Chain A
């Protein structure tokens, strides 16, 4: 437990560094974002509006940097990330609304891909050298296609041509309204199918190959030979091997979840799906700095959180990582 707490401390320091960098970067950038914003409005601004914008960025009072930093930090602790310029809403509110789409779609797809890929990997590893190995090039081919290409291909064929799936969006905006009603939930499920399939197809090979190779390595370990020698049924022997072989994949899964937000960008663009990725693209396009800063913070925290999750999982799954009493 002490080990985990020490790791947690390390992550807190990392988070603080990231937050500070997030605070400093826009202020150190050549070309003041505020000036740019004012220039974009091309003289249609009154001095009051300029003052309002500056206030919004916390720069209007010509405070020294350290005081601004104090304001920024205290605001952060209260969940205030500033106002989005383009959406005229608090950034925290914007992110709070969109994050669930991303978690729901990318998270589900990542977990599904992990489960399917790892299970296949166990089987393929157990039967290495059999005809099953012929599936591997196919899976790696799907992974090697650029994601937007694969996604577009799937949309063209299965959605536009065959009409098996909706083409874009997160739910049927024509007939459904958001809320906890069956029509809406079913619509969301239906619209998420093709995006999820596309993500699983493009990421399956990684899990599968990783697990297969770990299985092949683990099977040659003595304790697997012992499991056979002990007369255990095949299923149990496989479990001895798989339980050991899965450790690196579990760590990878946690790290993948860390890239959930940043990885959502392509999927959400291809399927015109709501979510943080889409938000990021729009924020960059509109030079919406407060929103950008908010998204960067979110990415930082998910990556750090996922790393901590990976550590915690490893701690739970592998007794060797626990610092415990010595032999004797």
Chain B
């Protein structure tokens, strides 16, 4: 796998509403994604993680508006594609053939009046007029086989399939045109845990085979740790922490990341008591001054309530965090839960 970058996002801002009524849902987000890499995006509901990816792909619905930033997609051999300045027609050609998306609920993502086969056929035909009907059908069956479904599923309507089958169909469809980037918006949230596990391991396997990059959105950090190369944690529309998955898991630096981590039972390892995060996600219309997480943060200091911490890359690491506790100006002791340390049970990171 190469170190090539396929997606580059600079100072990306998204608002909901216009003028005085506007609310900043994604604020000053910058990141890059390498080819064949998996970037996990985690955060509570309303943290802006979905808004971010819908913004990046220009699928944002009213009243969402992209107000600033740059999004560059690197096409193989064709150079840079500026997503935000592209015309509707240009972006239409990029969609699905280069960037595809899988939504949370496969039942509502499939047209209820159409057989599965017709949905496959349509997307193949629109992007490649040269394929014959027979070729399109073969390709559809091939794709179903990829996710372990029998070809006769093509004859079915969405309501005739189980939740897991529908989500597999969505994944197969997302891979139909061999895109370089697949965006997964909580693809397993609506499924039971057993199916969830199956799908996640299938996804990992498919990625090994086909080598596409993935942005995987979820609020389940423990899931990301297994699947993602890097994890980005969002709060109130901002990135509060970004690090390689293992490192983030073993040594979270932001109090919010720690809170998220303690909200889910680990998939492996001993059982611990779940803690959760006190309070509720912030009201974007009335963000507190300073760090938006400060009202819910157990470690908040005076400075946190006055100044917003910038996202800073720690020297000599790939770990960025936006927290005054880790700022060079901070003189006190970093709480032990958030300090640089070796992992509890696996001695991997640092």
- Residues of A participating in the B interface, judged by any CB pair closer than 8 Å: 129, 220-223, 225-233, 236, 240, 243-244, 317-320, 324-328
In the complex, the answer to whether B96 meets A229 with C-beta atoms within 8 Å is yes
**Bound complex: CA A228 to CA B62 (Å):** 14
Which listed residue, A129, A244, A327, touches B113 by the CB 8 Å rule? Answer: A244
Nearest B-chain residue to A326, judged by Cβ: B160
Nearest A-chain residue to B110, judged by Cβ: A223
Nearest B-chain residue to A244, judged by Cβ: B113
Nearest B-chain residue to A224, judged by Cβ: B111
Q: Which residue, A222, A229, A232, has most C-beta atoms of chain B within 10 A?
A: A229
**Bound complex: CA A21 to CA B297 (Å):** 75
Nearest B-chain residue to A222, judged by Cβ: B108
Q: Tell whether A229 pairs with B101 under 8 Å between CB atoms, given A223-B108, A318-B113.
A: yes
In the complex, the answer to whether A229 meets B122 with C-beta atoms within 8 Å is no
The answer to whether the Cβ of B267 comes within 8 Å of any Cβ in the partner chain is: no
Known: A229-B95, A320-B157. 6 other contacts (CB 8 A): A225-B59, A227-B111, A228-B95, A230-B100, A231-B95, A327-B160
Q: Which residues of B are found within 8 Å of A327, using beta-carbon distances? A: 160-162, 165
Give the shortest distance, in Å, between B54 (CB) and chain A (any CB).
8
Q: Which residues of A are found within 8 Å of B101, using beta-carbon distances? A: 226, 229
Q: Which residue, A129, A220, A225, A317, has most C-beta atoms of chain B within 10 A?
A: A225
In the complex, the answer to whether A320 meets B126 with C-beta atoms within 8 Å is no
**Bound complex: CA A221 to CA B111 (Å):** 9
Nearest B-chain residue to A317, judged by Cβ: B113
Give the shortest distance, in Å, between B195 (CB) and chain A (any CB).
13
B78-114 interface with A by 8 A CB criterion = 92-97, 100-101, 103, 105, 108-113
**Bound complex: CA A228 to CA B94 (Å):** 11
Give the shortest distance, in Å, between B242 (CB) and chain A (any CB).
26
**Bound complex: CA A196 to CA B96 (Å):** 47
Nearest B-chain residue to A322, judged by Cβ: B157
Which listed residue, B94, B122, B123, B160, touches A325 by the CB 8 Å rule? Answer: B160
Give the shortest distance, in Å, between A214 (CB) and chain B (any CB).
14
Nearest A-chain residue to B173, judged by Cβ: A230
The answer to whether the Cβ of B159 comes within 8 Å of any Cβ in the partner chain is: yes
**Bound complex: CA A316 to CA B93 (Å):** 34
Give the shortest distance, in Å, between A256 (CB) and chain B (any CB).
23
Give the shortest distance, in Å, between B215 (CB) and chain A (any CB).
14
The answer to whether the Cβ of B263 comes within 8 Å of any Cβ in the partner chain is: no
Number of interface residues of B (CB under 8 A): 30
Nearest A-chain residue to B157, judged by Cβ: A319
Give the shortest distance, in Å, between A304 (CB) and chain B (any CB).
27
Q: Which residues of B are found within 8 Å of A324, using beta-carbon distances? A: 160
**Bound complex: CA A161 to CA B23 (Å):** 58
Give the shortest distance, in Å, between B338 (CB) and chain A (any CB).
38
Give the shortest distance, in Å, between A129 (CB) and chain B (any CB).
8
Q: Which residues of A are found within 8 Å of B160, using beta-carbon distances? A: 324-327
The answer to whether the Cβ of B61 comes within 8 Å of any Cβ in the partner chain is: yes
The answer to whether the Cβ of B127 comes within 8 Å of any Cβ in the partner chain is: yes
Give the shortest distance, in Å, between A181 (CB) and chain B (any CB).
46
Which listed residue, A220, A233, A240, A328, touches B92 by the CB 8 Å rule? Answer: A233
In the complex, the answer to whether B127 meets A231 with C-beta atoms within 8 Å is yes
**Bound complex: CA A229 to CA B108 (Å):** 14
Provide 20 A-B residue pairs closer than 8 Å at the C-beta atoms, listed in order of the A residue.
Answer: A222-B108, A223-B111, A227-B111, A229-B57, A229-B95, A230-B95, A230-B100, A230-B122, A231-B96, A232-B123, A232-B126, A236-B122, A236-B126, A243-B111, A319-B157, A320-B157, A324-B160, A327-B162, A327-B165, A328-B162
Q: Which residues of A are found within 8 Å of B126, using beta-carbon distances? A: 230-233, 236
Q: Which residues of A are found within 8 Å of B108, using beta-carbon distances? A: 221-223
**Bound complex: CA A209 to CA B103 (Å):** 30
**Bound complex: CA A243 to CA B113 (Å):** 8
Q: Which residues of B are found within 8 Å of A320, using beta-carbon distances? A: 112, 157, 159
Q: Which residues of A are found within 8 Å of B122, using beta-carbon distances? A: 230, 232, 236
**Bound complex: CA A226 to CA B101 (Å):** 8
**Bound complex: CA A240 to CA B123 (Å):** 13
Give the shortest distance, in Å, between B173 (CB) and chain A (any CB).
8
**Bound complex: CA A327 to CA B95 (Å):** 31
